[in-house]
Structure 1
């Protein structure tokens, strides 16, 4: 990871709101809002670095869709030929299977960890804004068994992960994701070196996304999210019949040679108490399916994930 990483700060503030914004990023919020508002005032538009929403996408894409797309990391691929030869031959590359290293995934999330990831939303059907979120590590399990193909994965007794981290710290005391990964990797280097092609399909990552600011400045959007990702690019194995892994697979784009890691499951906090309310029936059904995917996944692997067990009973309590 780059040298831009700041040292982690652990400063406490009001703990009544479990998902309160960490103080480190409250300070960042003021600077970001001031700079962006100055840009809007002087030029009548936001900076080129701020995501925009085209008039075409307003009618075609929902706020939930924009959120899922923005929360899906794009990770550079590697090829097995890189380990077998130094020639970089396109022929060898074409015959090999692409994969990604976990260190490339962490690198792709570093900018968002430092400055916040922008999500373009449309409010009231017309007002275009960008809401910034900072990612925090919620949980990760890595499964790898060279002696047993993923197709032999048992649906009744999941294997034990060779690495696991579940975050128990309250959100307002957590380090941003790449800071936490850097700390963990000093004790467990495999957290950087692992290849997606060596990980079983049960390997996963969960990220907690906390809002820090919106541009242009306006009423705060307090909704937070817990998203889940598959970390394996092995051939499809056998999951329990009630769980569909179709939406969990990393999608490889041969044009830019990158993987997109889609969100296959998600829980929200205060989504229904914000002005991002999902109104269309297909949006509500989509959101329900994301929650169900999380329930199935956590239940199948029997994961005592603190964020899940805190958010799950509160998820629907904010619906109007």
Structure 2
């Protein structure tokens, strides 16, 4: 089946992570096993992409095909857990989500609210009083404890590639490598900004290929409302559940007779709804992309 250019990009921007399974004795009743992935394995998917870019086949003028390469950058990250973690080690501390939650130490709260020196991004404790909203995507449980938060405010040419940024964050927050998807709250997510770098074969008029994209991915392997990951062939795919575009040439990316236009609109709406629910409505890249989507 021939993909539209939009579908081609979304497929190439979907990481496939090695799936692991809990032993039967650790699984829920009625299930043989529970699949999960380790965050470090997810970050490893971006190693080659960060160094050389990811290539998406793009068809031009109905017949000519080029491979457009994009470099991924970490645009935003929120990791919520159901347990309290030491921010420096990622080691679980005693934490119960019911009556004992109010007994969390003042020291932990202080660590959570301190200023992160990397790109002037903040990390703070989350209010656990989650509320459902009448939107396409609903978080049906409290957000959990906010372990890590990152928003990039830099211009694209000043940013570190995705994998390098994760490595820098992980120097202080070791849980970024050791946490598993089953340890995370359904509110955990990341956004990846994809900027074009080159295409093969080279074109004389490459402006139509200068579109950039912002994709949103769930980091929890048990999300509801259509955000479930797909487990196939020993890997877990994390397709984008939200999307924003920057200077997208619709004649290139929207294929006539397809649902591309509806998909773009739906994914944009999902991203906007999501940011409202996780209290991240000031995601800098989202505002920038939306204001310059055409």
Give the TM-score band, short-chain normalised: 0.7 to 0.9
Distance change (3 Å), C-alpha of 1:95 and 1:83 = closer
Residue 24 of structure 2 contacts residue 32 of structure 2 at CA under 8 Å; is this kept in 1? no
Instruction: Give TM-score scaled by structure 1 length.
Output: 0.69
CA distance in 2, matches of 1:65, 1:235: 23
Match of 1:188 among 150, 168, 173: 173
Pairwise mapping of residues 144-159 of structure 1 onto structure 2 (< 5 A)? 144-146=81-83, 147-148=96-97, 154-155=131-132, 158-159=143-144
Residue in 2 that maps onto 1:111: 48
Q: Does 1:252 align with 2:231?
A: yes
Q: Does 1:136 align with 2:73?
A: yes
Residue 75 of structure 1 and its aligned partner are, at CA, apart by 0.5
Distance change (3 Å), C-alpha of 1:75 and 1:130 = same
Pairwise mapping of residues 1-320 of structure 1 onto structure 2 (< 5 A)? 57-58=1-2, 61-81=3-23, 95-146=32-83, 147-148=96-97, 154-155=131-132, 158-159=143-144, 161-218=146-203, 219-220=205-206, 221-234=209-222, 236=224, 245-246=225-226, 248-253=227-232, 256-272=233-249, 275-280=252-257, 282-303=259-280, 304-315=282-293, 318=294
More off after superposition, 131-140 vs 306-315 = 306-315
CA distance in 1, matches of 2:223, 2:275: 22
Structure with more of its chain in helix, by fraction: 1
CA distance in 2, matches of 1:132, 1:294: 24
Residue 83 of structure 1 and its aligned partner are, at CA, apart by 11
Aligned residues: 236
Instruction: Give TM-score scaled by structure 2 length.
Output: 0.74
Runs of 4+ with deviation above 6 angstroms: none
CA distance in 2, matches of 1:178, 1:172: 16
CA distance in 1, matches of 2:50, 2:25: 30
Q: Which runs of 5+ in 2 are unaligned?
A: 84-95, 99-128, 134-141
Residue 123 of structure 1 contacts residue 276 of structure 1 at CA under 8 Å; is this kept in 2? no
Local SS of the residue matching 2:154: coil
CA distance in 1, matches of 2:250, 2:231: 36
CA distance in 2, matches of 1:235, 1:268: 25
Distance change (3 Å), C-alpha of 1:282 and 1:159 = same
Structure with higher RCO (Cα < 8 A, 6+ apart): 2
CA distance in 2, matches of 1:158, 1:105: 22
Local SS of the residue matching 2:210: coil
Q: Which runs of 5+ in 1 are unaligned?
A: 1-56, 85-93, 237-244
